[in-house]
Structure 1
Amino acid sequence: MLQFRIDEERCIQCGECALDCPAGVIAMDGYPKITDEAGCFQCQHCLAICPTAAVSILGKDPEVSTVLQGNLPDPAQLATLIKGRRAVRRYRDRDLAPELIDHLLAVSCHAPTGVNARSVLFTVVRERAVMHRLREYLMDRLVTLKDLGGLPQGFVGQYLGWTAKAWQEEGKDILFRGAPHLLITSAPADAPCPTQDALIALTTFQLLAHGHGVGTVWDGICMMALGVCPEVTGKLGIPENHTLGYAMAFGDPAVEYQRTVQRGPALVNVVKW
């Protein structure tokens, strides 16, 4: 049941909820009503757009939502956050507060998904002790593969060989850069846009994390390692029917950047039809 409810004392019958419904399943009959419950995307556009907080759906109380007016970030500060984001490869040897990790994930699940599938799974390593065991396992596997000549040819094999050698000879962690935490996003392979959904969710997590002073790095070497050690995906609890988006190592940064870099101009192709 959608639990679509209209507070008739608040509703001004403006019709905005019906006009904005992506599925087209709200009609005005004096007050708004659902015409096809099965066709609803459960996107909550109706709850979000109502100017008087008269619409409730899925049991959600509109009064619990954050009012947008006066609460959105300053555009200039948001631009600085985007331009000032750095890939962090040095981390302090301590866990982030569990409450902060929970907050980052709770907000990141608001990232858009194709057809509002909302099926992205956030697989997270919350504790350094778990990260240490994962690091030891993967490094041991990579060293064994390197020594036996079992790494793939080309770019991937070169990077993984370099990673294994650095660990073997120097105890240097190139795989996770010493980060105490790891996040992997995935989605069911039969979702409309599994890869795109997972990447958008991870990007959302990253920007919010940097806003909280948390360092992150897109971990391509981890993805390569998972490719040659496929059993690890199952050990992490990721379902077999999921498509992996990407991995991101994160934690309390041991480095502080002082200014934005200077890039551009953007490569822009203006369409002239």
Structure 2
Amino acid sequence: MKRPIHVVIDESKCTGCGACVAICPHDTLTLAEGKAVVTGDDSLSCGHCLAVCPTEAITLTDHRPMGQSYQTFAMPDGWLAPGAFEVDKLAWLMASRRSCRHFTKDPVPMAVLEDLVHIATTAPSGTNAQAWHFTLLPDRTSVKGFAKGVLSFFQQLNRLARIAPLRGLLKLLGKPELSRYHADYHDRIEEGIASWTTQHKDLLFHGAPAAILVSCSQDASCPAEDALLASNQILLAAHAMGLGSCLIGFAVEALARDKQLRQRISLPANETVYAVIALGHPHEPYMRPSVRKPVTPRVIRMNESNAF
């Protein structure tokens, strides 16, 4: 599928160095009479040409520099080259970010939520589609309203799961999902519903005052991967901004199956939500990073004779 070309070259600034031509992954540019010109009929709009140009001769229409998007902080100018950032600090940030299940009642400013969305869009995406979308639940009332819809879906699911003949029939038909759900999740969901209805205790969003839903259009080449990469940017950035975060998998599952819930948040038919992120100020006084299971990577060496 061909995509529109947004590259514009200022001939008066172009020195004809050829850097943009060499780095273009889609053969969109060539050199003609000592100047870079657009000769291809397709482009990824990746901006590699813009980023490499020494004279700032290249712009992309309908695009804006990443650093101009932020409201709550200023991103330094220039490019952070490989090796120019301390990997120990990056690893420390990654290890220190934890799933938060105890939030204060302090609200998250809208500007912070919008900055988190802009940070999310720094993630890579397949063929640079950038087909992700972000739905904000900016206050506790909105989160509770959405949570009520999620719990309503699971109430109906639990009622079905309690019908033993139905579970048995579906299992005989090669559809054991309802039986597995009943064994693994029914009791936990019942506890959550009871806590919500009788104690007004939120075991789903843990009292979070805000949330971001990350979705992606299905015409993207890698919609799930794109959305999850963007989500991880949000998780790390939220920690750096003093916020706690938690991925709410039950909400993702409800949105995948409940048309009414999708309509309630005005989710287009061609979008799938891959992550629901609860956000707020953490009320968890951790003292150190947690632990992880040991992992041993597989090492496979291949050459042309045994590759296929």
TM-score normalized by the length of structure 1: 0.87
1:197 to partner: Cα distance: 0.9
- Based on CA coordinates, which of the two structures has the bigger radius of gyration? 2
Partner of 2:290, secondary structure, is coil
Whether the 8 Å contact between 1:8 and 1:31 is mirrored in structure 2 is no
Distance 1:78 1:133, change over 3 A: same
Correspondence 1:14 to 2:17: yes
Distance 1:150 1:124, change over 3 A: farther
CA distance in 2, matches of 1:61, 1:173: 39
Q: Which amino acid aligns with 1:170?
A: Q
The residue number in structure 2 matching 1:239 is 268
Partner of 2:211, secondary structure, is strand
Q: 1:26 aligns with which of 19, 24, 29?
A: 29
Q: Which amino acid aligns with 1:33?
A: V
The residue number in structure 2 matching 1:49 is 52
The residue number in structure 2 matching 1:272 is 301
Partner of 1:237, secondary structure, is coil
The aligned runs of 1:104-115 (5 Å cut-off) are 104-115=116-127
Partner of 1:253, secondary structure, is coil
CA distance in 2, matches of 1:222, 1:159: 15
Distance 1:177 1:50, change over 3 A: same
Distance 1:70 1:113, change over 3 A: closer
Q: Deviations over 1:86-143 (max 9, x none)?
A: 0000111121111111111112112111111111011121122211222234335544
1:164 to partner: Cα distance: 1.6
Q: 2:8 aligns with which of 4, 7, 10?
A: 4
Distance 1:191 1:228, change over 3 A: closer
Q: 1:208 aligns with which of 215, 224, 237?
A: 237
Correspondence 1:153 to 2:182: no
The aligned runs of 1:138-149 (5 Å cut-off) are 138-143=150-155, 146=158
Sequence identity percentage: 26
Q: Which amino acid aligns with 1:97?
A: P
Q: Give the superposed CA RMSD.
A: 2.8
Distance 1:264 1:52, change over 3 A: farther
Q: Deviations over 1:169-225 (max 9, x none)?
A: 433211111111121211122221111111111111111111111111111122233
Whether the 8 Å contact between 1:198 and 1:246 is mirrored in structure 2 is yes
Distance 1:224 1:172, change over 3 A: farther
Distance 1:6 1:240, change over 3 A: same
The residue number in structure 1 matching 2:42 is 39
Structure 1: where are the runs of 5+ without partners? Answer: none
CA distance in 2, matches of 1:81, 1:226: 31
The residue number in structure 1 matching 2:88 is 76
CA distance in 2, matches of 1:34, 1:115: 19
Q: Deviations over 1:22-81 (max 9, x none)?
A: 111111121111112x41111111111123323222266879773114896432211100
